[in-house]
Amino acid sequence: MPFINTSGFLPKRYLVTGGAGFIGSHLCDRLLAEGHEVLCVDNFYTGTRRNIEHLLGERRFELLRHDVTFPLYVECDAIFNMACPASPIHYQFDPVQTTKTSVIGAINMLGLAKRLRVPVLQASTSEVYGDPAVHPQTESYWGNVNPIGPRSCYDEGKRCAETLFFDYHRQHAVGIKVVRIFNTYGPRMHPEDGRVVSNFIVQALLGQEITLYGDGSQTRSFCFVDDLVDGLMAMIRTDASVTGPINLGNPVEFTIRELAGLVVELTGSRSAITYRPLPQDDPKQRRPDIAEARSRLGWEPQVPLREGLARTIAYFDDLLSASRTGAAR
C-alpha cells in the first residue's frame, strides 16, 4: 500500500485495539491509506487474522497479539480503543471476561493515554441505552438498562467504561473522545456472530430458514462500515473540547422483517422465514439521533441499505465459496 505524502500533514502512529476485528480492521485500512503508521493490537478472541492478512507486508503496519486486560507499554500519538466482543453470542459466551475487557481494558488504555499525553477514543455502543423508553435516542438520554440480565456484561461494561473515560478526563485531563456506535454491518463481519445482518445473509446464501426473533416488528438502523469509519476519523480529528458522547449510526429505521425480505430479494434465495421467541432484554426499537454528529463532525451516513447489503452479500458469498472449496480439498 504505497503512500506519497503531498498534503504537508505529519503522519502519526495510531494504536488500534481490536484492530483485527470487523470495524477495527477497516479502521486500520483507512489510517494506512492516509499515510499513518498503525499498531494493531488484538488477542484474536473474535477478531481474525483473515481480516488483516492483506496488511501484514505493509511496512507501516505492526501487529501485536495482546489482551487489553493486561497493561500495554508502547508509544503512539493517539489511541482507538475498539477491543471488546460486540455480538450477543460472543459477549455472552464469557460474560466475566467481557466485563473485564470493557472496564479493565478502558483503565489500561486511559492509563497509557495519560502517560503519553495523547488522545484516546472509546468505541462505546448504542447498547448503553438498553431497551429505550425514548425514541430516537439522543446522547442526553440515560438509558433503560437491566443491570443483572444476560446482556448486562456488555451493556453495563460499556457504561462503566464511559464513566471511567469522563472521570479520567476530569481528574487527570486526559483527552478523550467517546462515540456510541449503532448497528454497523459490512464485509468482514464474523459469519457466526449471531448478528441479524450476518445471520440473514448466511442463512439465505446457504438456503436455510431465515430466523426472526419475535414477530419481526422490532426496528434497527443499519450503518455501513465505511460510513462508520468516516465518523471515527472525523471524531479523532476534532479539537480537545469535543469529548462526546456522540452517536454514530444511520437514522433510517427498518423493521427486522423488512431487512429479512431485502436479504431474500438481493440473494435470490428461496429460504422460508421462521419465527422464534424474542431473547430477554432485546431492544424493541433502536434509532440514533445524529444531530450532534452532523453539527460537531459534519458527518452523516451516505451508503443506503440496499447498496451496503449488496456489498456485504458479495463478501459472504466469496467467503462461503472459499470455505466450501477448502473443505472439498
Whether 186 and 308 have beta carbons less than 8 Å apart is answered as: yes
Q: Write the DSSP symbol of residue 281.
A: T
DSSP string, 124-180: EEGGGGBS-SSSSBPTT---B--TTSTTHHHHHHHHHHHHHHHHHHHHH---EEEEE
Residues 6 or more apart whose CB falls under 8 angstroms from that of 115 comprise: none
DSSP string, 124-137: EEGGGGBS-SSSSB
Name the helix (H) or strand (E) containing 309: helix 305-328
Grid coordinates representing 121 are 477514543
Q: Give the residue from 305, 86, 276 showing the smallest Cα distance to 181.
A: 86
For 217, other C-beta atoms within 10 Å of its C-beta total 12
Give the whole-angstrom CA distance, residue 231 versus residue 181.
Answer: 10
Residue 275 annotated in active site: no
Grid coordinates representing 309 are 447489503
Q: Which of 91, 129, 154, 168 is catalytic?
A: 154
Give the whole-angstrom CA distance, residue 116 versus residue 144.
Answer: 36
**Residues carrying an active site annotation:** 154
